[in-house]
Amino acid sequence: MHSLVPTMDDIGFEELMNDPYPSFDRIRKEASAVWVSSARINLVTRFDDIMHIERNHADFASTNPGSLMNKIMGHSLMRKDDEEHQVERKAVETAFRPGVVKQYWAPRLEAISDRLIAGFEKDGETDLFNAFAAPMAAYGLTELLGFKSDVAWQDMCDWSQSLMDAVGNYTADPAIEARGHAAAASIATEIDRAMPEHRATENPSVLSSMAHAESLHSIDQIRANVNVIVGGGLNEPRDSILTTVMALLSNPDQLAQVRENRKLFAKAFEEAVRWVAPIGMYPRRVTRDVVLGDTQLKEGDQIGLCVGAANRDPSRFENAHAFDINRPRQGHLGFGAGPHFCAGTWVARQMVGEIAVPMLFDRLKNLRLHDSKPVTERGWVFRGPTSLPVQWDV
């Protein structure tokens, strides 16, 4: 029995921002796609439905000419399909191949992590959001892109946030839109500053990879794809560092296992990305009238794939709301799926699971949650801790 998309009016936006998981459970039980009034989009929350969508790009396209993302960032690979997508994707992938990540990026990311920890390790307490996770992600991204090393990490964070705010600016607030355009202009300036060096000498950075791509990239293509990487390659490593640390500190038995067997740090990172997906939702456009599970969708419908909800689908994951590094190895949707599967997966695994998180636990003796300052978390489209106060022995 296929019905038109049902509506849910009683899920408040603040509820989604504070803790989306009870609402995700309700939506998942209701239907394959549900119009959630406060989110202003049809949400898809079941694991199998999202897998079906990601395998059927003819019916569920990433291309979306009217999207806010195109307006603010330019027409990037994220809003393209098929051949057009593949040629640009190849240039990004070249910079993040597993071998390049291990040999070239790992030592550089290690140096950043080491320098940041050295800056506060004698203090005995800090908030890991601004002291570590945000600058780690921002400096890391500066290197990966091939920007000049004098770019301030706070500027990278500001540009990233301004772009993401402008892409989610559904109420068309002119101030938010203006900040998005200003961020894109600053990023264009950084590309212009760095590009001559990359054109002259080939190296593993994203800019070099684009400059020397098999299929010639126009400056507009380069700008749009760099905007996407600044917008989407910063908050996810930041948030996944914080979520992994928070989860381990809140589960001392699992932390003890990880300390005993360092290989489990990688597993802890992967489980953290399943448990609290840093990108909780991303959009697709329905290209023709089509049935999804128990729901009839119409051509032109916008749907939001809630991977944050699918990653807690009880039909896929036992005891899905628990953080559990010992759960059986099973693919999740935290990095997406299909042709747009995260291009930065390998470098994120290295940066967070192999370098940043293990180094924190190695260097900060008896690392623990702060005894009087609370952890705060927020978001559903993007989710993670907004502060992580910790203490350690000095």
Residues that bind ligand HEM (CB under 6 A): 77-78, 89, 92, 141, 144, 228-229, 232-233, 236-237, 240, 273, 278-279, 282, 334-336, 340, 342-344, 347-348
CB of 336 or CB of 389, closer to ligand HEM: 336
Positive or negative, the CA dihedral 342, 344, 349, 351 is negative
CB of 279 or CB of 364, closer to ligand HEM: 279
CB of 338 to ligand HEM, least distance (A): 8
CB of 200 to ligand HEM, least distance (A): 23
The number of CA neighbours under 13 Å toward the Cβ of 254 is: 22
CB of 36 or CB of 337, closer to ligand HEM: 337
CB of 325 or CB of 343, closer to ligand HEM: 343
214: Cβ–Cβ under 8 A, 6 or more apart, which residues?
87, 90, 91
Residue nearest to ligand HEM (CB): 344
CB of 307 to ligand HEM, least distance (A): 6
CB of 124 to ligand HEM, least distance (A): 29
CB of 136 to ligand HEM, least distance (A): 11
CB of 180 or CB of 283, closer to ligand HEM: 283
Closest to 194 measured CA to CA, from 143, 136, 138: 143
Element (H, E) at 272: helix 264-275
338: Cβ–Cβ under 8 A, 6 or more apart, which residues?
54, 55, 57
Core vs surface per residue 213-231: b (16+ CB within 10 A) or e: beeebeeebbbbbbbbbbb
CB of 58 to ligand HEM, least distance (A): 16
Residues 386 and 129 sit within 8 Å (Cβ to Cβ): yes
CB of 109 or CB of 391, closer to ligand HEM: 109
Please tell me the distance from the alpha carbon of residue 208 to that of residue 123, in angstroms, as a whole number.
39
